[in-house]
Amino acid sequence: FILNGPNLNLLGTREPELYGTTTLAEIEAACVGKACEHGLEVDFRQTNHEGVLVDWLHEAHAAGAKAVIINAAAYTHSSIALLDAAKAIAPPVIEVHLSDPQTREDFRHLSYIGQAARQCFKGKGLASYLEAIEAAARL
Ligand code: DQA
């Protein structure tokens, strides 16, 4: 499962100086291609709603997903519910970000879900996702 949180549906036009001009559909296509190289299937989703992300983490567990790659976007920095869900499920969780939150505003330095993530790939745009898929394939 590759899960994307709030405002990532706007990629392509959203703050391109920070996030680039690649759309989420283009990220999805690249992820499907990279996963295919490793014989993995991708279920790629986006929502603006915190509880939906919680439900999808549970669904990944129930489906026996090999891994969950998640860009929780702003919920990274606020959601204890996502942290608890990530802790509650069996599939390993890998955190991704297009930008590097550590080099941005102070309020982005704390990642709740990161406390349950095996690894974090950040600051490389689309490549953050592709590196996360490589890591998932190695698990
Ligand atoms: C983001 C970083 C977050 O701080 C921000 O709220 C986002 C996107 C990223 O991919 O760089 O929405 O997760």
- What is the chain's pLDDT, residue by residue, as a tens digit (139 residues)? 999 999 999 999 999 999 999 999 999 999 999 999 999 999 999 999 999 999 999 999 999 999 999 999 999 999 999 999 999 999 999 999 999 999 999 999 999 999 999 999 999 999 999 999 999 999 9
The SS3 call for residue 89 is: coil
- Tell whether ligand 1 has an atom less than 6 A from the beta carbon of residue 71: yes
Considering only CA atoms, which of 133, 120, 106, 135 is closest in space to residue 34? 133
Which residues are part of the catalytic machinery? 19, 97
For 91, the token pair is 């599939």
125 lines ligand 1 (CB under 6 A): no
CA distance 69 to 129: 8
Q: Which amino acid is at 118?
A: R
Helix (H) or strand (E) holding 46: strand 44-46
- The residue whose C-alpha atom lies closest to atom 3 belonging to ligand 1 is 73
Cβ partners under 8 Å of residue 88, min gap 6: 57, 58, 61
